[in-house]
Amino acid sequence: MGRTRSLLVLRPILFASAATSAAAAVSPLVGRFVPVGRIAAVPAFLGPRSQHYRGAAQGTVLATSATSLMATRTNQIGAEPEGKEKRGLYLFDFDGVICDSCDECTIAALRTVRSLGVLDDDEEAILEGTESPPRWLLEEMREIRPAIEVGWQIPVMLAVLLNQKKGGEGGAKSAGVTTEEVITNYESLVSSTLGRWGKTDRDMIEAFGGVRDRWMADDLQSWLEANSFYPGIPEGVSSCRGEAAVVTTKQQRFAIALMRHAGVEGGNLPDSDIYGLGMYKAKSDVIVDRMKEGKYSPQDTHFFEDRWPTLAKCLKDDRLEGVRFYLCDWGYVAPHERELAKAEERVEILPLNRFGDVVASP
């Protein structure tokens, strides 16, 4: 069932033009990103899954060496033995399943809204001139994290909390923002805030990615250390009994750097098996394409996700009938979402201590 993959791969990445120079500065530290040309269409070598990629005409083809990314953890997870038989297809979300990036996202989000100049004087006054997010903001961003769909929306929701804090006494919670309310009003909160700023989703993707690129260029170690990994998860992914892939709404270059930092080597998870923001339309499309490409049955296909709305969409997709779905209980999951998952017989609520049993080779 497995495939032979080269560690040197070409992949179209939506690389924000504003961040290109910053990424070039980062490249000696976290990998060699070498622009090799512009493309007008998705190249044929990407195979059947290419039909689901979007934005390729604006993307830059990058040659990325998986082995060139610097893994900073001293205990590297060993490469997969040559000739190991792949038993099934395993696809993992990243944030909330492998990596707890909530604090890093909040720090980068605050830098983003400041770089855009969208905070008013009252909102800045709430922050009391601190460069880093205050503890209450870190905690409240973590509380509403289950509602956030895509990474670029994190700065938007941070601004929503500041705006609510400005409008109420005793903090954002007293102003009426709960996780459930954010989920209910999510689209209107995002669209109204972008409208007030005069910004688009593309503006936010470029700004948020650019802030991270500059942070990595200026202080790579502090950026890496602002992220943490759930115990045993990188090891489980690295020793996965089947064919592994990561499907994330984080931009690919950041997910690659963090996976290598976690000790997951390119021999176990090549760059080409990490699908980032802008590389697909829906996670269900990636699942279907990988099933077809590897000739995996639905019963041999496993998808691990911490966002219930994402799983709910997959459950409605007839192409995924029979696929095994797991709600990762350790991630960004709201209590009411656990109850919804309990009522769905096709979804298993997976605790952290059982991850290795389901994923890793015996």
Confidence band, pLDDT 50/70/90 cuts, at residue 7: very low
User: Dmax of the chain from CA atoms?
Assistant: 62
Distance CA 24, CA 46 (A): 25
Q: What is the chain's Cα-based Rg?
A: 20
Q: What is the crossing angle of helices 153-167 and 186-197, to 10°?
A: 90
Mean pLDDT of the chain: 79
Confidence band, pLDDT 50/70/90 cuts, at residue 86: low
Residue that wins the pLDDT comparison between 325 and 66:
325
Of the residues 221, 247, 270, the one at which a domain ends: 221
* The pLDDT value given to residue 82: 52
* The pLDDT value given to residue 165: 85
Q: Please indicate, yes or no, if residue 3 is contained in any of the structural domains.
A: no
* The pLDDT value given to residue 177: 63
Q: Does pLDDT of 173 surpass 60?
A: no
Q: Please indicate, yes or no, if residue 1 is contained in any of the structural domains.
A: no
Confidence band, pLDDT 50/70/90 cuts, at residue 284: very high
Q: Please indicate, yes or no, if residue 2 is contained in any of the structural domains.
A: no
* The pLDDT value given to residue 105: 97
199 and 125 co-located in one domain: yes
163 and 133 co-located in one domain: yes
What is residue 297's three-state secondary structure? coil
* The pLDDT value given to residue 85: 63
**pTM, rounded to two decimals:** 0.76
Mean pLDDT of 22-37: 33
- For the ranges 47-61, 95-109, 173-187, 301-315, which has the lowest average pLDDT? 47-61
83 and 117 co-located in one domain: no
Q: Does pLDDT of 339 surpass 90?
A: yes
Three-state SS across 200-243?
A: CHHHHHHHHHHHHHHHHHHHHHHHHHCCEECCCHHHHHHCECCE
Q: Does pLDDT of 2 surpass 80?
A: no
Q: Please indicate, yes or no, if residue 35 is contained in any of the structural domains.
A: yes
Q: How many folded domains does the chain comprise?
A: 2
Mean pLDDT of 334-357: 96
Distance CA 82, CA 272 (A): 19
Mean pLDDT of 80-87: 58
Instruction: Write out pLDDT tens, residues 195-247.
Output: 999 999 999 999 999 999 999 999 999 999 999 999 999 999 999 999 999 99
Mean pLDDT of 133-152: 93
Q: Please indicate, yes or no, if residue 52 is contained in any of the structural domains.
A: yes
* The pLDDT value given to residue 107: 98
82 and 109 co-located in one domain: no
Q: Hey, which of 11-20, 125-134, 212-221 has the most confident mean pLDDT?
A: 212-221
- For the ranges 68-82, 88-102, 304-318, which has the lowest average pLDDT? 68-82
Across the strands, what pairs with 229? 99
Q: Does pLDDT of 39 surpass 50?
A: no
Q: Does pLDDT of 303 surpass 70?
A: yes
- For the ranges 47-56, 120-129, 292-301, which has the lowest average pLDDT? 47-56
* Residue 188: Cβ within 10 Å count: 9
Mean pLDDT of 156-182: 70
* The pLDDT value given to residue 164: 85
Written as one letter, the residue type at 215 is W
Mean pLDDT of 300-328: 97
Query: What length does the chain have?
Result: 362
Q: Please indicate, yes or no, if residue 169 is contained in any of the structural domains.
A: yes
* The pLDDT value given to residue 278: 92
* The pLDDT value given to residue 129: 83
Structural domain of 195: 102-221
Q: Does pLDDT of 102 surpass 50?
A: yes
316 and 269 co-located in one domain: yes
124 and 213 co-located in one domain: yes
Read off the tokens for 220.
């790579």
Of the residues 221, 237, 267, the one at which a domain ends: 221
323 and 234 co-located in one domain: yes
What is residue 142's three-state secondary structure? helix
Residue that wins the pLDDT comparison between 289 and 3:
289
